[in-house]
Amino acid sequence: MTQSDDDRIARRAELLDEEQTAGSADPEQQAKVILEESDARVEDPEGTREASEQTPDDRDGGTGSQGKGTATGV
């Protein structure tokens, strides 16, 4: 791990308000995991997009699997 990695982890370990409310047993470990996942998404956006349950699949123009009809369902 480089000094810049240590700096990134230290900065990310400063919990956001929501994270402070929820609590964290180990903010530095949490920061390390978050940054590793973020780096993986930057290095391989297509691969991580397919593996993600949180990323919508809008590569078909935003119609998704419900792309039939109009907004009113007609």
pLDDT tier for residue 1 given thresholds of 50, 70 and 90: low
Model pLDDT for residues 57-66, shown as the tens digit of each residue? 665 555 444 4
| CB-based contact 64:57 (threshold 8 Å) | yes
| 31 within some domain | yes
Give a yes or no: residue 58 inside a domain. Answer: no
pTM of the model: 0.55
Q: Tens digits of per-residue pLDDT, 24-39?
A: 889 999 999 999 988 9
The count of structural domains within the chain is 1
Angle at which helices 27-43 and 3-12 cross, to 10°:
110
Question: Are the C-beta atoms of 27 and 11 separated by less than 8 Å?
Answer: no
Q: Mean of the pLDDT values across residues 40-52?
A: 80
Q: Which domain holds residue 40?
A: 3-52
The runs of H, that is alpha helices, within the chain are 3-12, 17-22, 27-43, 45-51
In a domain, 24, yes or no: yes
Q: Are 50 and 59 in contact (CB under 8 A)?
A: no
